[in-house]
Structure 1
Amino acid sequence: MMMSLAAALGFLMLASSVGSVVSPCPAGLPGVPGFPGKDGRDGRRGPKGESGPMATTLHRSLKGDKGDTGPQGPLGKNGPKGPAGAAGEKGEQGEMGDTGSPGDHKRQYQSAFTVARLTNEHPVKNSPILFTREITNDHKDYDVTSGKFRCRIPGQYYFSFHVSHSANLCAALYVDGQAKASFCDHMSSAVQVASGGVLVALEAEQEVWLALNDYNGMIGTEGNDSVFSGFLVSPQ
């Protein structure tokens, strides 16, 4: 151990003496700069900073300028129907329109006749009296060959007769064979006039006629007419 230390000390002393004798070399030129190194790895996330001061009222209330109007968007769907509004005020009366063309109401609901008997022969007893001369019978509702009126329009009808007679007379108005009213007149002069009338309700196709019983003294001559009439009062 002692020998190793002594050897080391001797070596150091020898080096020191040699260095003091040799003159130092001049410094070399700087080397070429090296290439930049690669970026280092991201550092660790730092701690959360403290909250900044609250903005003043002035800074918060400032508002920027209004921007330009944008383009119109597409039309939306129709909304639900709203409630009906209140009725408006009554408008002024309009001008009278043109006269319309004639309708057929009157023609459709017309039924009337008056017929006369021109003969001195007394009618057949208990049979429809034949009134053969038509005074009014536009729709031919009264048949001069059968002595019967046939109902074409249901409704209320009025029938009447005014007859001349040279003998006792009893007349009756029949509807489908059923007497509805009867009238009698007994002679007190050479020629007399008897009359009567009745309102009846008829259905379509019902028949009406005038007939005499055993007292059948009806005549029909010029100046002593015998007539039978009927007309529709109101349709059903």
Structure 2
Amino acid sequence: MEATWLQISLAFLILPLLVFGAPTDESGPQDATTTLRGCKRCCDPLDVSTSESHRGTSPRFSPYVMPEVRPYINITILKGDKGDRGEPGIPGKWGKEGPPGEQGAPGPKGSKGQMGTPGDPCKHQYAAFSVGRKKALHSSEGYQALIFDSVFVNLYSHFDMYKGKFYCYVAGLYFFSLNVHTWNFKETYMHVMRNDQEEVILYAQPSDRSIMQSQSLMLELRENDEVWVRLYKRERDNAIYSDDVDIYITFSGYLIKPALE
């Protein structure tokens, strides 16, 4: 038993000598240094004093050396503080006008206004008249007022039937209309007058047949203005036709809107 253990122990001692060989004196200190220097880590600095530098060759970099890595800086996170607001620049030119937009929604209802001052209790805020004439008329020399003999409407008696004039008691905007029938082979020449000023003319040349002629207008009247119809005779006879049965001549007017005081 003891001889067997002795043989196993000698085998472990002799086996390394057979595999690696016994050390000799041929390898000097320089070879050992070279062997140690030949094994380096990739992260160690390169030693230029190797055996290759002694042979006159350039030092070679190990292919296993890691490249230099530069740190990455995100400049977007290096934002500074907001600066002060600059002065406004010169305004530019006006552009072309755009198309009109759609109508907006109606706004809220406004508050009720204050009560106005009391008006004149004796003053009427309405005016209207409509008169006619049954008789034909031939104008005399010069100017002649057209007088009417029939009344359709004469509110508050603002139209004077004896003078043929409408008197304005309520200032405002009025509408007037005049209708006549011409006479055969006679001229029809008339004016609607405001005070002494001609406003519009109603005219028809002499013809072999009579026709209906009309004229209308709106006037902005002040209080105490007068509106009436005037005939004017020139070289030829001036006449309007009517009979005792039908009314061919009418003159009407009414207040559209009173004036604001």
TM-score, length basis structure 2 = 0.47
Maintained 8 Å contact 1:128/1:210: yes
Give, in angstroms, the shift of residue 168 of structure 1: 1.4
Mapping of 1:61-140 within 5 angstroms? 108-124=124-140, 125-140=142-157
What residue is the counterpart of 1:170 in the other structure?
A: 189
Give, in angstroms, the shift of residue 123 of structure 1: 4.2
Give, in angstroms, the shift of residue 183 of structure 1: 2.1
Query: Which has the larger Rg?
Result: 1
Q: 1:140 to 1:123 in 2, by over 3 A?
A: farther
Separation in 2, partners of 1:115, 1:227: 6
Q: Percent identity between the aligned chains?
A: 24
Structure 2 residue 256 is matched with structure 1 residue 233? yes
Q: 1:113 to 1:195 in 2, by over 3 A?
A: same
Structure 2 residue 240 is matched with structure 1 residue 218? yes
Maintained 8 Å contact 1:123/1:129: no
Maintained 8 Å contact 1:119/1:220: yes
Q: Which runs of 5+ in 2 are unaligned?
A: 1-120
Separation in 1, partners of 2:258, 2:231: 29
Deviation string, structure 1 residues 154-174 (Cα, Å, up to 9, x no partner): 001111111012121111111
Separation in 2, partners of 1:132, 1:223: 12
Deviation string, structure 1 residues 74-107 (Cα, Å, up to 9, x no partner): xxxxxxxxxxxxxxxxxxxxxxxxxxxxxxx9x9
Separation in 1, partners of 2:238, 2:172: 31
Separation in 2, partners of 1:189, 1:113: 34
Q: 1:163 to 1:219 in 2, by over 3 A?
A: same
TM-score, length basis structure 1 = 0.52
SS in 2 for 1:108: coil
Separation in 1, partners of 2:125, 2:211: 36
Q: 1:113 to 1:198 in 2, by over 3 A?
A: same
| AA at the equivalent of 1:219 | Y
What residue is the counterpart of 2:17 in the other structure?
A: none
Q: 1:224 to 1:134 in 2, by over 3 A?
A: closer
What residue is the counterpart of 1:159 in the other structure?
A: 176
RMSD between aligned residues: 2.2
**Aligned residue pair count:** 132
